[in-house]
Copies of this chain bind each other. A is one copy, B any other.
Amino acid sequence: MDVQNYAMTRLRDACKHSGPLCVGLDTDPSYIPCEVLRLFDSPAEAVLAYNLALIEACGPWAGCFKVQIAYYEALGLAGLEVYAKTLQAVRSAGYLAIADVKRGDIADTARAYARAHFEGDFEADIITLNPYMGFETLDPFLEYIHTARKGVFVLLRTSNPGMKDIEWLELSPAPDSASAGRSDTVVQTRVLDVVGDALHRIGSRYISQDSSWVSPVGAVVGCTQEDDARTLRDRYPEIFFLIPGYGAQGGAARIAATLLSKAGGTVNSSRGILMAWAKDPSLEIRRTAGELFLADLVKSAERAAFAAKAELLGAVTALGN
């Protein structure tokens, strides 16, 4: 099977070429200072202008862009128009667009979500999915791997404390047959292991003899806990990771570096870049005076993207990957 043009393969290659940073366009209007917001007709217009400038400025330091739909939904119809335009801008600039939608539903409804995010106004290259309702719910999205070379990132080990509530629950020692897979070699202990094994199993449908093969079924693995990072990286060497929890969420570059080995991954930074202006020492006087312009925000963001890329590559080198 030719997997060279799959979105996940292209993403892996883009990250090899341009570095592992994923710039997260989770652009809430509250991340933009009042004096800049005021220059636009609406918060949605300001968000769009900031996004377009960020794509141009940060692109050279990023392997891809991730757009978190929640912030656009929160602005209603005007926000979703900006969401559509942002995805289009990312893709027409030649970057891969990851839509962070975390959808999860059954049957016809899952098919509708797949159409919504792999076609039409909201078309993305890769989207995030929530597997909670069962692995059959992934099928309508996987069809787009075949037909349109799209990709998915499924929640595996998220970066928030509440991941302990379900993802980390310990399973009974004799898991039922629905969770079969790699249980011959590794004992499944937690809910997230069942999910990971399912993603491994599903991804291997698309296996290629190409030695540089990467599964088109990726996983979301936060860089907030070292043990899990090492275990999951070793257990699923062929799965490309979308890695949240770096920067503003308190994750560490060292843990990210562990996750970046083997098939690799892309490390998301959203607020650390979008709000870099708020901590930029060179803007201190004008920030205090309320005299910032969009171009100032963009320059700070670009420097933050450059610094994040450098920090991540440094951590990868230190780890000896």
Give chain B residues whose Cβ lies under 8 Å from the Cβ of A26: 108-109
Interface core residue of A112, A159, A174 (most chain B CB under 10 Å): A112
Identify the stretch in A113-121, A255-263, A301-309 within 8 Å (CB) of chain B at 4 or more residues: A113-121
A73/B106 in contact, CB under 8 A: no
Q: How distant is the Cα of A120 from the Cα of B168 in the complex, in angstroms?
A: 36
Q: How distant is the Cα of A282 from the Cα of B206 in the complex, in angstroms?
A: 49
A77/B73 in contact, CB under 8 A: no
B84/A76 in contact, CB under 8 A: yes
Q: How distant is the Cα of A74 from the Cα of B109 in the complex, in angstroms?
A: 10
Q: How distant is the Cα of A75 from the Cα of B120 in the complex, in angstroms?
A: 8
Residue A68 at the chain B interface, CB threshold 8 Å: yes
Q: How distant is the Cα of A170 from the Cα of B165 in the complex, in angstroms?
A: 15
Q: How distant is the Cα of A167 from the Cα of B121 in the complex, in angstroms?
A: 33
User: Which A residues lie at the B interface, using CB under 8 A?
Assistant: 26, 28, 68, 70-71, 73-77, 80-81, 84, 102-110, 112-113, 115-117, 120-122, 130-137, 155, 158-176, 178-179, 191, 194-195, 198, 249, 271
Give chain B residues whose Cβ lies under 8 Å from the Cβ of A167: 132-134
Copies in the assembly, this chain: 2
Q: Report the nearest B residue to A162, measured CB to CB.
A: B134
Instruction: Given the known inter-chain contacts A80-B80, A161-B136, A162-B137, please indicate yes or no for A113 contacting B169, CB distance below 8 A.
Output: no
B194/A71 in contact, CB under 8 A: no
Q: Report the nearest B residue to A166, measured CB to CB.
A: B132
Q: How distant is the Cα of A80 from the Cα of B26 in the complex, in angstroms?
A: 20
A169/B179 in contact, CB under 8 A: yes
B120/A74 in contact, CB under 8 A: yes
A120/B194 in contact, CB under 8 A: no
B112/A132 in contact, CB under 8 A: no
Cβ contact of A130, chosen from B110, B117, B130, B135, cutoff 8 A: B130
B131/A166 in contact, CB under 8 A: yes
Interface core residue of A116, A133, A173 (most chain B CB under 10 Å): A133
Give chain B residues whose Cβ lies under 8 Å from the Cβ of A112: 28, 68, 70-71, 73-74
A169/B170 in contact, CB under 8 A: no
Instruction: Given the known inter-chain contacts A74-B115, A171-B170, please indicate yes or no for A178 contacting B165, CB distance below 8 A.
Output: yes
Q: How distant is the Cα of A83 from the Cα of B75 in the complex, in angstroms?
A: 15
CB distance from A99 to the nearest CB of B (A): 11
Interface core residue of A104, A116, A195 (most chain B CB under 10 Å): A116
Cβ contact of A76, chosen from B122, B136, B176, cutoff 8 A: B122
CB distance from A155 to the nearest CB of B (A): 7
Instruction: Given the known inter-chain contacts A136-B161, A162-B136, please indicate yes or no for A116 contacting B70, CB distance below 8 A.
Output: yes
